[in-house]
Chains A and B, each alone.
Chain A
Amino acid sequence: MIAVQTDGLTKVFPGGITAVEDLTLQIEQGQIFGFLGPNGAGKTTTIRLLNGTLLPSGGSSSVLGRDSRDEEVRSRTATLAEEAKMYEHMSVRQNLRFFARMYGLSATDAETRIRELLERMRLWEKREAKLGSFSTGMKKRVYLARTLLHRPEILFLDEPTSGLDPEAAGQVTDLIRTLAREQGVSVFLCTHNLVLAERICDVFALLRQGRLQAVGSKQQLLENTLEDKRVRIRTLGSTALHSFTREDEIDRIVREQQGRGEKIVEVQILRPSLEDVYFRTVGRSEDELE
Protein backbone atom coordinates (compact mmCIF):
# COMPACT_ATOMS: atom_id res chain seq x y z
CA MET A 1 0.00 0.00 0.00
CA ILE A 2 1.25 3.47 -0.88
CA ALA A 3 1.45 5.84 2.07
CA VAL A 4 2.75 8.95 0.36
CA GLN A 5 2.91 9.85 -3.29
CA THR A 6 4.02 13.07 -4.95
CA ASP A 7 3.94 13.92 -8.62
CA GLY A 8 5.92 16.91 -9.85
CA LEU A 9 5.37 18.62 -6.50
CA THR A 10 6.61 22.21 -6.64
CA LYS A 11 6.56 25.11 -4.20
CA VAL A 12 7.53 28.62 -5.17
CA PHE A 13 7.24 31.23 -2.42
CA PRO A 14 6.27 34.85 -3.06
CA GLY A 15 9.39 36.61 -4.30
CA GLY A 16 10.16 33.74 -6.65
CA ILE A 17 12.09 31.49 -4.27
CA THR A 18 11.70 27.89 -5.39
CA ALA A 19 11.88 25.69 -2.30
CA VAL A 20 10.80 22.40 -3.89
CA GLU A 21 10.89 21.66 -7.60
CA ASP A 22 9.27 18.85 -9.53
CA LEU A 23 9.45 16.32 -6.70
CA THR A 24 8.17 12.87 -7.60
CA LEU A 25 8.43 10.06 -5.09
CA GLN A 26 6.52 7.21 -3.51
CA ILE A 27 6.63 5.79 0.02
CA GLU A 28 5.24 2.40 0.96
CA GLN A 29 3.26 1.83 4.15
CA GLY A 30 5.54 0.79 7.02
CA GLN A 31 8.65 2.13 5.32
CA ILE A 32 11.16 4.41 7.01
CA PHE A 33 11.96 6.92 4.31
CA GLY A 34 15.05 9.05 4.84
CA PHE A 35 14.78 12.46 3.22
CA LEU A 36 18.30 13.78 3.27
CA GLY A 37 19.77 17.10 2.32
CA PRO A 38 21.63 20.08 3.70
CA ASN A 39 19.96 23.06 5.39
CA GLY A 40 17.80 24.93 2.92
CA ALA A 41 17.40 21.92 0.61
CA GLY A 42 13.60 22.02 0.93
CA LYS A 43 13.04 19.21 3.47
CA THR A 44 10.81 21.17 5.87
CA THR A 45 8.85 22.70 2.98
CA THR A 46 8.21 19.19 1.65
CA ILE A 47 6.84 18.08 5.04
CA ARG A 48 4.60 21.15 5.16
CA LEU A 49 3.34 20.39 1.67
CA LEU A 50 2.66 16.76 2.57
CA ASN A 51 0.76 17.56 5.78
CA GLY A 52 -1.32 20.24 4.05
CA THR A 53 0.13 23.25 5.86
CA LEU A 54 1.40 24.73 2.59
CA LEU A 55 -0.36 24.63 -0.74
CA PRO A 56 1.65 23.48 -3.76
CA SER A 57 2.47 25.90 -6.58
CA GLY A 58 2.49 22.96 -8.99
CA GLY A 59 2.13 19.19 -9.09
CA SER A 60 0.27 17.18 -6.48
CA SER A 61 0.73 15.05 -3.40
CA SER A 62 -1.43 12.47 -1.72
CA VAL A 63 -1.14 10.96 1.73
CA LEU A 64 -2.94 7.71 2.58
CA GLY A 65 -4.79 8.03 -0.70
CA ARG A 66 -6.11 11.52 0.03
CA ASP A 67 -5.06 14.89 -1.27
CA SER A 68 -2.60 16.42 1.22
CA ARG A 69 -4.89 19.42 1.71
CA ASP A 70 -7.65 17.18 3.08
CA GLU A 71 -8.20 17.77 6.81
CA GLU A 72 -8.26 14.01 7.36
CA VAL A 73 -4.58 13.82 6.42
CA ARG A 74 -3.67 15.75 9.56
CA SER A 75 -5.95 13.50 11.66
CA ARG A 76 -4.19 10.34 10.47
CA THR A 77 -0.62 11.65 10.46
CA ALA A 78 1.58 13.51 12.90
CA THR A 79 4.39 15.99 12.40
CA LEU A 80 7.33 16.56 14.68
CA ALA A 81 9.11 19.66 13.41
CA GLU A 82 12.50 20.75 14.61
CA GLU A 83 11.37 24.25 15.61
CA ALA A 84 7.78 23.49 16.65
CA LYS A 85 7.35 23.59 20.41
CA MET A 86 4.68 22.88 22.99
CA TYR A 87 3.33 25.05 25.80
CA GLU A 88 6.03 25.62 28.40
CA HIS A 89 3.71 27.20 30.99
CA MET A 90 1.56 24.09 31.01
CA SER A 91 2.35 20.75 32.64
CA VAL A 92 3.20 17.73 30.53
CA ARG A 93 -0.22 16.24 31.21
CA GLN A 94 -2.07 19.50 30.41
CA ASN A 95 -0.15 19.75 27.14
CA LEU A 96 -0.99 16.19 26.12
CA ARG A 97 -4.65 16.57 27.18
CA PHE A 98 -4.90 19.68 25.00
CA PHE A 99 -3.46 17.94 21.93
CA ALA A 100 -5.58 14.84 22.60
CA ARG A 101 -8.65 17.09 22.35
CA MET A 102 -7.33 18.59 19.11
CA TYR A 103 -7.12 15.07 17.68
CA GLY A 104 -10.63 14.22 18.90
CA LEU A 105 -9.72 11.67 21.58
CA SER A 106 -12.33 11.19 24.31
CA ALA A 107 -11.29 12.17 27.85
CA THR A 108 -11.03 8.51 28.94
CA ASP A 109 -9.05 7.47 25.85
CA ALA A 110 -6.78 10.46 26.28
CA GLU A 111 -5.97 9.63 29.92
CA THR A 112 -5.18 5.99 29.07
CA ARG A 113 -3.06 6.94 26.08
CA ILE A 114 -1.20 9.71 27.96
CA ARG A 115 -0.28 7.28 30.75
CA GLU A 116 0.81 4.62 28.26
CA LEU A 117 3.02 7.05 26.31
CA LEU A 118 4.51 8.81 29.32
CA GLU A 119 5.40 5.47 30.89
CA ARG A 120 7.01 4.43 27.63
CA MET A 121 8.98 7.69 27.51
CA ARG A 122 9.84 7.29 31.22
CA LEU A 123 8.15 10.59 32.06
CA TRP A 124 5.07 9.44 34.00
CA GLU A 125 6.55 10.58 37.31
CA LYS A 126 7.08 14.05 35.84
CA ARG A 127 3.58 14.39 34.38
CA GLU A 128 2.57 17.35 36.57
CA ALA A 129 5.83 19.27 36.04
CA LYS A 130 5.78 22.35 33.80
CA LEU A 131 7.22 21.60 30.38
CA GLY A 132 9.40 24.72 30.66
CA SER A 133 11.36 23.08 33.47
CA PHE A 134 12.47 20.15 31.27
CA SER A 135 15.80 19.59 29.52
CA THR A 136 15.92 19.52 25.69
CA GLY A 137 15.99 15.73 25.67
CA MET A 138 12.99 15.41 28.00
CA LYS A 139 11.03 17.97 25.96
CA LYS A 140 11.77 16.03 22.81
CA ARG A 141 10.34 12.90 24.43
CA VAL A 142 7.17 14.83 25.33
CA TYR A 143 6.95 16.12 21.74
CA LEU A 144 7.25 12.55 20.52
CA ALA A 145 4.51 11.45 22.93
CA ARG A 146 2.35 14.22 21.48
CA THR A 147 2.89 12.99 17.94
CA LEU A 148 1.90 9.44 18.94
CA LEU A 149 -1.26 10.35 20.92
CA HIS A 150 -3.75 9.60 18.13
CA ARG A 151 -1.91 6.55 16.79
CA PRO A 152 -0.91 8.14 13.47
CA GLU A 153 -0.37 5.99 10.40
CA ILE A 154 2.41 8.25 9.10
CA LEU A 155 4.98 10.21 11.06
CA PHE A 156 6.65 13.24 9.50
CA LEU A 157 9.79 13.79 11.53
CA ASP A 158 12.03 16.79 10.96
CA GLU A 159 15.41 16.34 12.65
CA PRO A 160 13.95 14.30 15.56
CA THR A 161 17.31 13.85 17.28
CA SER A 162 18.68 17.37 17.01
CA GLY A 163 19.81 18.71 20.37
CA LEU A 164 19.78 15.27 21.99
CA ASP A 165 22.71 13.56 23.67
CA PRO A 166 23.78 10.21 22.15
CA GLU A 167 21.79 8.15 24.67
CA ALA A 168 18.54 10.10 24.14
CA ALA A 169 19.09 10.09 20.37
CA GLY A 170 19.51 6.31 20.52
CA GLN A 171 16.22 5.94 22.43
CA VAL A 172 14.38 8.07 19.86
CA THR A 173 15.92 6.08 17.03
CA ASP A 174 14.87 2.77 18.63
CA LEU A 175 11.35 4.08 19.14
CA ILE A 176 11.03 5.13 15.49
CA ARG A 177 12.25 1.73 14.37
CA THR A 178 9.86 -0.08 16.71
CA LEU A 179 6.90 1.98 15.48
CA ALA A 180 7.67 1.14 11.89
CA ARG A 181 8.46 -2.54 12.41
CA GLU A 182 5.82 -3.49 14.98
CA GLN A 183 2.98 -1.13 14.19
CA GLY A 184 3.44 -0.56 10.47
CA VAL A 185 3.76 3.20 10.88
CA SER A 186 5.36 4.88 7.86
CA VAL A 187 8.07 7.35 8.76
CA PHE A 188 9.14 10.28 6.62
CA LEU A 189 12.40 11.25 8.25
CA CYS A 190 14.04 14.53 7.31
CA THR A 191 17.56 14.78 8.58
CA HIS A 192 21.12 15.65 7.80
CA ASN A 193 22.25 13.18 10.45
CA LEU A 194 23.54 10.53 8.08
CA VAL A 195 24.51 8.09 10.83
CA LEU A 196 20.95 8.08 12.14
CA ALA A 197 19.51 7.74 8.65
CA GLU A 198 21.82 4.89 7.74
CA ARG A 199 20.87 3.01 10.93
CA ILE A 200 17.12 3.04 10.47
CA CYS A 201 15.98 4.02 6.97
CA ASP A 202 14.85 1.53 4.34
CA VAL A 203 14.88 4.00 1.46
CA PHE A 204 16.74 7.26 1.01
CA ALA A 205 16.06 10.33 -1.07
CA LEU A 206 18.75 12.96 -1.53
CA LEU A 207 17.61 16.52 -2.02
CA ARG A 208 19.61 19.52 -3.10
CA GLN A 209 18.25 23.03 -3.66
CA GLY A 210 14.70 21.69 -3.83
CA ARG A 211 15.45 19.06 -6.47
CA LEU A 212 15.58 15.32 -5.95
CA GLN A 213 19.08 14.07 -6.80
CA ALA A 214 18.75 10.36 -6.10
CA VAL A 215 16.34 7.90 -4.51
CA GLY A 216 16.60 4.23 -3.58
CA SER A 217 17.82 1.75 -1.00
CA LYS A 218 21.36 2.14 0.30
CA GLN A 219 22.57 -0.62 -2.00
CA GLN A 220 20.92 0.98 -5.03
CA LEU A 221 22.39 4.36 -4.21
CA LEU A 222 25.86 2.87 -3.76
CA GLU A 223 25.66 1.01 -7.05
CA ASN A 224 24.31 3.95 -8.98
CA THR A 225 26.48 6.64 -7.52
CA LEU A 226 29.87 5.13 -6.78
CA GLU A 227 31.40 3.07 -9.54
CA ASP A 228 34.93 2.90 -8.16
CA LYS A 229 35.94 1.07 -5.01
CA ARG A 230 39.14 1.69 -3.16
CA VAL A 231 41.71 -0.24 -1.19
CA ARG A 232 44.09 1.37 1.28
CA ILE A 233 47.51 -0.21 1.55
CA ARG A 234 49.71 0.80 4.43
CA THR A 235 53.39 -0.05 4.23
CA LEU A 236 56.15 0.61 6.73
CA GLY A 237 56.93 3.92 5.02
CA SER A 238 53.65 5.16 3.55
CA THR A 239 49.94 4.76 2.93
CA ALA A 240 48.42 4.69 -0.56
CA LEU A 241 44.90 4.48 -1.97
CA HIS A 242 44.23 2.37 -5.08
CA SER A 243 41.02 2.23 -7.10
CA PHE A 244 39.66 -1.05 -8.40
CA THR A 245 36.47 -2.22 -10.06
CA ARG A 246 36.59 -6.00 -9.39
CA GLU A 247 37.75 -7.56 -6.12
CA ASP A 248 40.23 -9.93 -7.84
CA GLU A 249 42.26 -6.84 -8.76
CA ILE A 250 43.25 -6.42 -5.11
CA ASP A 251 45.69 -9.33 -5.33
CA ARG A 252 47.42 -7.71 -8.32
CA ILE A 253 47.68 -4.34 -6.55
CA VAL A 254 49.21 -5.95 -3.45
CA ARG A 255 51.69 -8.02 -5.47
CA GLU A 256 52.80 -4.98 -7.46
CA GLN A 257 53.52 -3.11 -4.27
CA GLN A 258 55.41 -6.09 -2.78
CA GLY A 259 57.35 -6.36 -6.04
CA ARG A 260 58.72 -2.90 -5.36
CA GLY A 261 60.16 -4.27 -2.14
CA GLU A 262 57.74 -2.55 0.18
CA LYS A 263 56.72 -4.28 3.43
CA ILE A 264 52.90 -4.27 3.63
CA VAL A 265 51.51 -3.77 7.12
CA GLU A 266 47.79 -3.43 6.40
CA VAL A 267 45.36 -3.86 3.49
CA GLN A 268 41.94 -2.31 3.98
CA ILE A 269 39.06 -2.31 1.54
CA LEU A 270 37.24 1.02 1.84
CA ARG A 271 33.56 0.23 1.54
CA PRO A 272 31.58 3.28 0.48
CA SER A 273 29.08 4.54 3.01
CA LEU A 274 25.91 6.54 2.69
CA GLU A 275 28.02 9.54 3.61
CA ASP A 276 30.14 9.03 0.48
CA VAL A 277 27.00 8.87 -1.66
CA TYR A 278 25.56 11.91 0.09
CA PHE A 279 28.58 14.12 -0.40
CA ARG A 280 29.08 13.00 -3.95
CA THR A 281 25.41 13.58 -4.83
CA VAL A 282 24.43 16.54 -2.72
CA GLY A 283 27.78 18.08 -1.94
CA ARG A 284 28.51 20.01 1.17
CA SER A 285 26.20 22.82 2.22
CA GLU A 286 27.59 26.31 2.33
CA ASP A 287 27.44 26.18 6.14
CA GLU A 288 29.53 23.02 6.20
CA LEU A 289 32.06 24.41 3.71
CA GLU A 290 32.55 27.45 5.91
Chain B
Amino acid sequence: MNWNRVRAIMGKDIRSVSSSKMVLLPIVIVPLLLCVLVPAAILLMALRFDTVFISGVDYVERLIPMYSLPDTLPGPTDQIMYIFLNFTFLPLFMLVPIMASSVIASDSIVGEKERKTLETLLYTPVTNREFLVAKLLGAFVPAVLVSWGGFAGYFVVLNLIYWTARGMLILQSWIWLPAILLLSPAVSALGLSVTLIVSLKAKTYMEAQQTAGVIVLPFILLIVVQIAGLLTFKPLYVVGLSIALGLVSYWIVARLAPRFTREAIITTL
Protein backbone atom coordinates (compact mmCIF):
# COMPACT_ATOMS: atom_id res chain seq x y z
CA MET B 1 0.00 0.00 0.00
CA ASN B 2 1.50 3.31 -1.11
CA TRP B 3 0.23 5.79 1.50
CA ASN B 4 1.63 8.77 -0.37
CA ARG B 5 -0.80 8.02 -3.23
CA VAL B 6 -3.64 7.44 -0.75
CA ARG B 7 -2.95 10.79 0.97
CA ALA B 8 -2.70 12.54 -2.41
CA ILE B 9 -6.15 11.28 -3.48
CA MET B 10 -7.68 12.14 -0.08
CA GLY B 11 -6.26 15.66 -0.22
CA LYS B 12 -7.50 16.14 -3.76
CA ASP B 13 -11.00 14.90 -2.83
CA ILE B 14 -11.22 17.21 0.18
CA ARG B 15 -10.17 20.13 -2.04
CA SER B 16 -12.89 19.09 -4.49
CA VAL B 17 -15.54 19.10 -1.76
CA SER B 18 -14.51 22.52 -0.49
CA SER B 19 -14.63 24.00 -3.98
CA SER B 20 -18.10 22.71 -4.90
CA LYS B 21 -21.05 24.65 -3.54
CA MET B 22 -23.41 21.79 -4.38
CA VAL B 23 -21.40 19.51 -2.08
CA LEU B 24 -20.28 22.01 0.53
CA LEU B 25 -23.70 23.59 1.20
CA PRO B 26 -25.42 20.46 2.61
CA ILE B 27 -22.33 19.70 4.69
CA VAL B 28 -22.53 23.16 6.30
CA ILE B 29 -26.29 23.77 6.33
CA VAL B 30 -27.52 20.39 7.62
CA PRO B 31 -25.34 20.38 10.80
CA LEU B 32 -26.13 24.05 11.36
CA LEU B 33 -29.88 23.37 11.16
CA LEU B 34 -30.00 20.02 12.95
CA CYS B 35 -27.34 20.65 15.58
CA VAL B 36 -27.76 24.32 16.35
CA LEU B 37 -30.69 26.29 14.94
CA VAL B 38 -33.62 23.85 15.40
CA PRO B 39 -32.67 22.60 18.91
CA ALA B 40 -31.83 26.16 20.01
CA ALA B 41 -35.21 27.40 18.75
CA ILE B 42 -37.04 24.57 20.56
CA LEU B 43 -35.16 25.23 23.82
CA LEU B 44 -35.73 28.98 23.60
CA MET B 45 -39.46 28.47 22.98
CA ALA B 46 -39.72 25.98 25.83
CA LEU B 47 -37.99 28.37 28.22
CA ARG B 48 -40.12 31.30 27.03
CA PHE B 49 -43.49 29.53 26.86
CA ASP B 50 -43.96 26.76 29.40
CA THR B 51 -44.55 23.40 27.70
CA VAL B 52 -47.82 22.93 29.61
CA PHE B 53 -49.31 25.30 27.02
CA ILE B 54 -48.08 23.20 24.14
CA SER B 55 -50.67 20.94 22.62
CA GLY B 56 -50.04 17.25 23.26
CA VAL B 57 -47.71 17.87 26.19
CA ASP B 58 -49.56 15.37 28.35
CA TYR B 59 -48.57 12.70 25.89
CA VAL B 60 -44.91 13.70 26.17
CA GLU B 61 -45.00 14.06 29.97
CA ARG B 62 -45.57 10.35 30.37
CA LEU B 63 -41.99 9.84 29.12
CA ILE B 64 -40.54 11.54 32.24
CA PRO B 65 -40.64 8.53 34.57
CA MET B 66 -38.97 6.37 31.92
CA TYR B 67 -35.63 8.24 32.26
CA SER B 68 -33.30 8.86 35.20
CA LEU B 69 -33.11 12.64 35.35
CA PRO B 70 -30.97 15.03 37.45
CA ASP B 71 -32.84 16.22 40.59
CA THR B 72 -31.76 19.78 39.89
CA LEU B 73 -34.16 20.21 36.94
CA PRO B 74 -36.76 22.74 38.13
CA GLY B 75 -39.97 21.35 36.54
CA PRO B 76 -41.67 19.25 33.82
CA THR B 77 -40.73 21.72 31.07
CA ASP B 78 -37.02 21.36 31.87
CA GLN B 79 -37.40 17.60 32.37
CA ILE B 80 -39.00 17.20 28.93
CA MET B 81 -36.36 19.42 27.35
CA TYR B 82 -33.66 17.35 29.05
CA ILE B 83 -35.14 14.13 27.59
CA PHE B 84 -35.61 15.62 24.13
CA LEU B 85 -32.21 17.25 23.89
CA ASN B 86 -30.22 14.42 25.45
CA PHE B 87 -32.00 11.32 24.17
CA THR B 88 -34.83 11.79 21.67
CA PHE B 89 -32.87 14.02 19.30
CA LEU B 90 -29.80 11.80 19.38
CA PRO B 91 -30.74 9.85 16.21
CA LEU B 92 -31.33 13.21 14.52
CA PHE B 93 -27.66 13.97 15.01
CA MET B 94 -26.75 10.77 13.24
CA LEU B 95 -28.19 12.28 10.07
CA VAL B 96 -25.16 14.59 9.99
CA PRO B 97 -22.43 11.92 9.62
CA ILE B 98 -24.70 9.90 7.28
CA MET B 99 -25.35 12.87 5.08
CA ALA B 100 -21.74 14.10 5.16
CA SER B 101 -20.20 10.71 4.35
CA SER B 102 -22.67 9.94 1.58
CA VAL B 103 -22.39 13.42 0.01
CA ILE B 104 -18.58 13.36 0.05
CA ALA B 105 -18.34 9.74 -1.17
CA SER B 106 -20.92 10.36 -3.92
CA ASP B 107 -18.93 13.37 -5.10
CA SER B 108 -15.56 11.66 -4.91
CA ILE B 109 -16.63 8.47 -6.71
CA VAL B 110 -19.73 9.11 -8.83
CA GLY B 111 -19.03 12.85 -9.17
CA GLU B 112 -15.55 12.07 -10.42
CA LYS B 113 -17.00 9.58 -12.90
CA GLU B 114 -19.46 12.23 -14.07
CA ARG B 115 -16.70 14.82 -14.53
CA LYS B 116 -14.69 12.24 -16.51
CA THR B 117 -11.63 12.59 -14.29
CA LEU B 118 -11.86 9.09 -12.82
CA GLU B 119 -10.50 7.50 -15.98
CA THR B 120 -7.37 9.68 -15.81
CA LEU B 121 -6.88 8.67 -12.18
CA LEU B 122 -7.27 4.99 -13.00
CA TYR B 123 -4.57 5.23 -15.66
CA THR B 124 -2.01 6.10 -12.96
CA PRO B 125 -0.19 3.36 -11.02
CA VAL B 126 -2.72 3.53 -8.15
CA THR B 127 -3.85 0.00 -7.21
CA ASN B 128 -7.50 -1.01 -6.77
CA ARG B 129 -6.90 -1.31 -3.02
CA GLU B 130 -5.22 2.10 -2.68
CA PHE B 131 -8.00 3.67 -4.72
CA LEU B 132 -10.72 2.18 -2.52
CA VAL B 133 -8.96 3.01 0.76
CA ALA B 134 -8.33 6.59 -0.38
CA LYS B 135 -11.95 7.08 -1.44
CA LEU B 136 -13.28 5.57 1.81
CA LEU B 137 -10.94 7.49 4.13
CA GLY B 138 -11.34 10.67 2.09
CA ALA B 139 -15.07 10.63 2.88
CA PHE B 140 -14.94 9.01 6.35
CA VAL B 141 -12.50 11.41 8.02
CA PRO B 142 -14.23 14.65 6.93
CA ALA B 143 -17.67 13.15 7.75
CA VAL B 144 -16.62 12.33 11.33
CA LEU B 145 -14.99 15.75 11.71
CA VAL B 146 -18.15 17.49 10.42
CA SER B 147 -20.33 15.51 12.88
CA TRP B 148 -17.96 16.34 15.75
CA GLY B 149 -18.15 19.98 14.71
CA GLY B 150 -21.95 19.69 14.84
CA PHE B 151 -21.80 18.14 18.30
CA ALA B 152 -19.46 20.88 19.50
CA GLY B 153 -21.85 23.56 18.20
CA TYR B 154 -24.81 21.79 19.82
CA PHE B 155 -23.05 21.52 23.19
CA VAL B 156 -21.81 25.09 23.26
CA VAL B 157 -24.99 26.83 22.01
CA LEU B 158 -27.59 24.75 23.90
CA ASN B 159 -25.66 24.72 27.18
CA LEU B 160 -25.03 28.46 26.87
CA ILE B 161 -28.75 29.16 26.37
CA TYR B 162 -29.72 26.95 29.31
CA TRP B 163 -26.92 28.29 31.53
CA THR B 164 -28.09 31.83 30.89
CA ALA B 165 -31.66 30.88 31.88
CA ARG B 166 -31.12 28.40 34.72
CA GLY B 167 -27.42 28.60 35.71
CA MET B 168 -26.73 24.95 34.86
CA LEU B 169 -25.91 22.70 31.86
CA ILE B 170 -28.71 20.81 30.07
CA LEU B 171 -26.51 18.51 27.99
CA GLN B 172 -24.78 16.43 30.63
CA SER B 173 -25.82 12.83 29.98
CA TRP B 174 -23.08 10.23 29.66
CA ILE B 175 -24.88 9.01 26.55
CA TRP B 176 -23.01 11.64 24.50
CA LEU B 177 -19.64 10.03 25.11
CA PRO B 178 -20.35 6.78 23.15
CA ALA B 179 -22.49 8.78 20.72
CA ILE B 180 -19.59 11.02 19.76
CA LEU B 181 -16.76 8.53 19.95
CA LEU B 182 -18.47 5.41 18.60
CA LEU B 183 -21.87 6.00 17.04
CA SER B 184 -20.85 8.96 14.90
CA PRO B 185 -17.93 7.10 13.22
CA ALA B 186 -20.08 3.94 12.88
CA VAL B 187 -22.88 5.88 11.21
CA SER B 188 -20.36 7.61 8.91
CA ALA B 189 -19.11 4.18 7.91
CA LEU B 190 -22.67 3.02 7.24
CA GLY B 191 -23.43 6.03 5.03
CA LEU B 192 -20.19 5.41 3.23
CA SER B 193 -20.75 1.70 2.63
CA VAL B 194 -24.28 2.32 1.30
CA THR B 195 -22.94 5.01 -1.04
CA LEU B 196 -20.31 2.55 -2.20
CA ILE B 197 -23.02 0.09 -3.25
CA VAL B 198 -24.87 2.83 -5.08
CA SER B 199 -21.71 4.20 -6.74
CA LEU B 200 -21.11 1.02 -8.72
CA LYS B 201 -24.36 1.60 -10.59
CA ALA B 202 -25.13 5.33 -10.39
CA LYS B 203 -24.19 7.48 -13.36
CA THR B 204 -24.59 10.90 -11.74
CA TYR B 205 -23.92 12.54 -8.38
CA MET B 206 -27.62 13.41 -7.95
CA GLU B 207 -28.70 9.84 -8.71
CA ALA B 208 -26.22 8.49 -6.13
CA GLN B 209 -27.39 11.00 -3.54
CA GLN B 210 -31.06 10.26 -4.01
CA THR B 211 -30.56 6.49 -3.81
CA ALA B 212 -28.21 6.60 -0.82
CA GLY B 213 -30.59 9.01 0.93
CA VAL B 214 -32.91 6.10 1.81
CA ILE B 215 -30.52 5.22 4.65
CA VAL B 216 -31.79 8.14 6.79
CA LEU B 217 -35.22 6.51 7.21
CA PRO B 218 -34.29 4.07 10.03
CA PHE B 219 -32.88 6.99 12.03
CA ILE B 220 -36.09 8.98 11.64
CA LEU B 221 -37.92 5.84 12.82
CA LEU B 222 -35.73 5.76 15.94
CA ILE B 223 -36.94 9.25 16.89
CA VAL B 224 -40.60 8.25 16.40
CA VAL B 225 -40.12 5.08 18.45
CA GLN B 226 -38.64 7.10 21.32
CA ILE B 227 -41.42 9.70 21.31
CA ALA B 228 -43.93 6.83 21.30
CA GLY B 229 -42.25 5.58 24.47
CA LEU B 230 -41.36 2.24 22.92
CA LEU B 231 -37.61 2.75 23.45
CA THR B 232 -35.50 4.80 25.82
CA PHE B 233 -31.95 5.40 24.71
CA LYS B 234 -29.27 4.39 27.21
CA PRO B 235 -25.45 4.65 26.86
CA LEU B 236 -25.20 0.86 26.58
CA TYR B 237 -27.70 0.82 23.69
CA VAL B 238 -25.61 3.42 21.90
CA VAL B 239 -22.49 1.26 22.32
CA GLY B 240 -24.40 -1.78 21.04
CA LEU B 241 -25.85 0.12 18.08
CA SER B 242 -22.40 1.48 17.21
CA ILE B 243 -20.87 -2.01 17.21
CA ALA B 244 -23.76 -3.40 15.14
CA LEU B 245 -23.56 -0.60 12.55
CA GLY B 246 -19.76 -0.86 12.45
CA LEU B 247 -20.00 -4.59 11.73
CA VAL B 248 -22.67 -4.12 9.06
CA SER B 249 -20.53 -1.45 7.37
CA TYR B 250 -17.45 -3.64 7.53
CA TRP B 251 -19.41 -6.55 6.06
CA ILE B 252 -20.71 -4.41 3.19
CA VAL B 253 -17.27 -2.98 2.39
CA ALA B 254 -15.57 -6.39 2.66
CA ARG B 255 -18.16 -7.93 0.31
CA LEU B 256 -17.95 -5.03 -2.12
CA ALA B 257 -14.17 -4.46 -2.19
CA PRO B 258 -13.35 -7.34 -4.60
CA ARG B 259 -15.95 -5.97 -7.04
CA PHE B 260 -14.42 -2.49 -6.88
CA THR B 261 -11.92 -3.06 -9.68
CA ARG B 262 -10.77 -0.50 -12.23
CA GLU B 263 -12.51 -2.57 -14.92
CA ALA B 264 -15.85 -2.46 -13.04
CA ILE B 265 -15.50 1.26 -12.45
CA ILE B 266 -14.43 2.18 -15.95
CA THR B 267 -17.07 0.09 -17.71
CA THR B 268 -19.84 1.88 -15.80
CA LEU B 269 -18.47 5.27 -16.91
Contacts and interface: CB of A to CB of B under 8 A. Distances in A.
A85 B115 contact: yes
Contact of A88 (B8, B115, B122, B123): B115
B125 A87 contact: no
A89 B119 contact: no
Interface in A45-101: 48, 51-55, 71-72, 74-75, 78-79, 81, 83-90, 94, 98-99, 101
A143 to B, nearest CB: 8
Interface residues of B, number: 27
B266 interface: yes
Given A86-B117, A87-B16, A54 B123 contact: no
Nearest to B263: A54
B120 interface: yes
B262 interface: yes
Interface in A3-24: 13
B12 A98 contact: yes
A59 to B, nearest CB: 16
B127 A71 contact: yes
Contacts of B121: 102
A103 interface: yes
Contacts, number: 71
A84 B125 contact: no
Contacts of A90: 12, 15, 19
A53 B123 contact: yes
Interface residues of A, number: 30
Nearest to B11: A98
Contacts of A78: 123
Given A13-B267, A48-B266, A54-B263, A102 B115 contact: no
B203 interface: no
Nearest to A100: B8
Given A53-B262, A84-B119, A86-B117, A102 B125 contact: yes
Contacts of A94: 15
Contact of B123 (A13, A51, A71, A89): A51
B117 A98 contact: no
Contact of A81 (B15, B120, B124, B262): B120
Contact of B263 (A53, A79, A85, A101): A53
B20 interface: yes
Contacts of B16: 87, 89
7 contacts: A53-B123, A72-B125, A90-B15, A99-B124, A102-B9, A102-B121, A102-B124
Interface of A: 13, 48, 51-55, 71-72, 74-75, 78-79, 81, 83-90, 94, 98-99, 101-104, 146
